[in-house]
Amino acid sequence: MGLMRSAFLAGSRSAWLRERATRYGFVRRSVSRFMPGERLEDALAAARTLQERRTGAILTQLGENVADADEADGVRRHYLDVLDQAAARGLDVQISVKLTQLGLDLDQERCLAHLTALVERAEGRGSFVWIDMEGSAYVDATLDLFRRARASSARVGVCLQAYLRRTPADLEALLPLRPALRLVKGAYQEPPDRAFPRKKDVDEAFFSLATRVLGQARGEAGDLLAIGTHDAPLVERLREFIAGHGVPESAYEFEMLYGIRRALQTRLVEGGGRLRVLISYGTYWFPWYMRRLAERPANVWFVARNLLSG
Ligand code: FDA
């Protein structure tokens, strides 16, 4: 793993750094490239603009590892409100949640109750709940809660990370459920016995996992692969596979992050592809932003430019 990447991922876990860095205007200005704003209102406005460009949205309020139950209750209330507001405005908006933000570290059953309440509301509003995948210590609990929520509704999907060595086995165990899955490369710092350290291996694992799902997809209700990457050559390879194997259109969609590879996003939509963009908002953006810098150290130049121009 590159030194820069390790440093940013270590920085993402530092409360000391978060405290200080978020006070600086140049850091905040750099973040705005990836975030339309801190308020829900900003995210909903961005979702409307995306909808005008035939692109769906997924909203996520930044936050993880909440340390008290009241906070987790507040997160549940917040997301219920997001689902209501999006429906009232006629927006094609889904939500994406981190289970540790819903109190997974505190009480697993209560976390499940929060998740189930969100899935029920999504069902009522014609929406959908995605569960993010966090560090590898949370994979078992996350998949367990996903299965339990999925038993009562198909309006919930879970993220799998291609960099983890265990993911092919997790995928095989999940496939009989005909689940909605979001495949991503993985954004956390993991030891080499758990995750492939080399980008090339992660990319190959992604292709192999994606084609495993797409190769057997029938496009039935609930059965969806969200291809979560901005990697243009990988997207191209997968599009060739999809065309060559007659994969039904309803069986997959592309998902990308707000502000990243906008030209690729536009090309996909103009070429008739289905795209959803994940919009993050909220005040707790520091660890998340460090992970974005770790993915692409060239982003550091945006921070530096904002420092100089500020
Ligand atoms: P890769 O990192 O190889 O990047 C390919 C190209 O995309 C780069 O060359 C660059 O051009 C561009 N790019 C990528 N990241 C960029 C950045 N930060 N800034 C500017 N350009 C960038 N992870 C996780 O562990 N758990 C999760 O739940 C999720 N959820 C999630 C949802 C969605 C919708 C997406 C798109 C991604 C996630 N991720 C995630 C993040 C994911 O694991 C991964 O870290 C990023 O998507 C970056 O990897 P790429 O697949 O884009 O490839």
Q: Cα of 294 to ligand 1 centre, how many Å?
A: 10
Which active-site residues does the annotation give?
Answer: 132, 182
Q: Would you state the structure tokens that stand for residue 185, as one six-digit string?
A: 């490369």
> How many angstroms separate the CA atoms of 240 and 225, rounded?
16
Convert 180-200 to b/e letters by CB count within 10 Å (16 or more is b).
Answer: bbbbbbbbbbbeeeebbeeee
CA distances from 186 to 49, 136, 221, 273 (A): 28, 10, 27, 23
Q: What is the pLDDT of residue 310?
A: 47
Of 3.40.50.300, 1.20.1250.20, 3.20.20.220, 3.30.479.30, the CATH number of 36-284 is 3.20.20.220
Nearest residue (by CA) to ligand 1, atom 12, is: 230
Measured from the Cα of 276, ligand 1's closest atom is 34
> How many angstroms separate the CA atoms of 237 and 154, rounded?
29
- pTM, 2 dp: 0.91
Residues contacting ligand 1 via CB (< 6 Å): 132-133, 159, 161, 184-188, 228-231, 255-257, 260-261, 278, 292, 295-296, 299
Q: What is the pLDDT of residue 35?
A: 87
Domain ranges of the chain: 1-35+293-310, 36-284
Q: What is the pLDDT of residue 283?
A: 82
Q: What is the pLDDT of residue 59?
A: 98
DSSP symbol at 282: S
Divide the 310 residues of the chain into consecutive groups of 10 and give the mean pLDDT of each group: 75 70 64 84 97 97 91 97 98 98 97 98 98 98 98 97 98 96 95 96 98 88 90 97 94 95 94 95 79 72 59
The crossing angle, in degrees rounded to 10, of helices 108-124 and 139-150 is 40
Measured from the Cα of 206, ligand 1's closest atom is 51
Task: Look at the block and give the residue holding tokens 């205007």.
Answer: 25
